[in-house]
Amino acid sequence: MSLSEVHERLIACRRCPRLVEWRERVGREKRAAFRDEDYWAKPVPGFGDPRARAVVVGLAPAAHGANRTGRMFTGDRSGDWLFRSLYRTGFANQSTSEHADDGLELTGMFVTSAVHCVPPGNAPTAAERAACLDWTVEELRTLPTPAVVVALGQVGYDAVLRMADAMGWERPTPKPKFGHGVEMTLGGGPLLICSFHPSQQNTFTRRLTEEMLDAVFERAGTMLGR
């Protein structure tokens, strides 16, 4: 199955009633600043280079970011941080990601998430995370075998370790504690690099700085032989 075929099926997904209700409600009620826009309000597929050997796994679409624009990490401040860093480290052709037709292209990088629908309070349940895992696995199976996966935040990290089973990668035991810059090799698979999520909570408090995020993607570039 091709990536476009996976995404066609993903966009039509209605597995999780709570997430379906929430994403559609946000799309109807909208934020005042975007009241004249048509919200995407559907599952958000991954975005990037279909030949990528580096993958980012985040948490979930933001209510007025990707749930509005229909493109992963697009239209919110977390995305601003992510794509500026990808631009500075040579994975993106521009530093901004405002809407799905803004000309952004990624080279060698694919960006996806653990959950593809916006969850209330940015907090998907364990059942919702489990139900959505298959979609991210199906995306990864259409790509070349990745050399490196970057997990953004604890939820992204846990999702990658769960995906390892489906992908045939061996998890490290005991499970390493999540932390920014923590690395581990998944046997038979990629190097996994952990990063704090570029959420406003982390960036405003400087728990995550631009230099710290750039270092993660510079390391990913090194793994690709850049």
Q: What are the chain's domains?
A: 3-223 (3.40.470.10)
Residue 62 burial (CB count, 10 A): 24
d(CA 72, CA 68): 10
pLDDT tens digits for range 143-177: 999 999 999 999 999 999 999 999 999 999 999 99
Residue 55: beta bridge partners?
Answer: 110, 149
Q: What is the pLDDT of residue 226?
A: 80
**Which parts of the chain fold into alpha helices (H)?**
3-11, 17-29, 66-69, 77-88, 126-142, 153-167, 200-204, 210-223
| 152 contacts 59 by C-beta, under 8 angstroms | yes
Predicted structure pTM score: 0.97
pLDDT at 35 over 90: yes
Q: Tell me what the mean pLDDT of segment 132-146 comes to.
A: 97
Q: Tell me what the mean pLDDT of segment 219-223 comes to.
A: 97
d(CA 27, CA 64): 8
Torsion sign, CA atoms 23, 24, 30, 35? positive
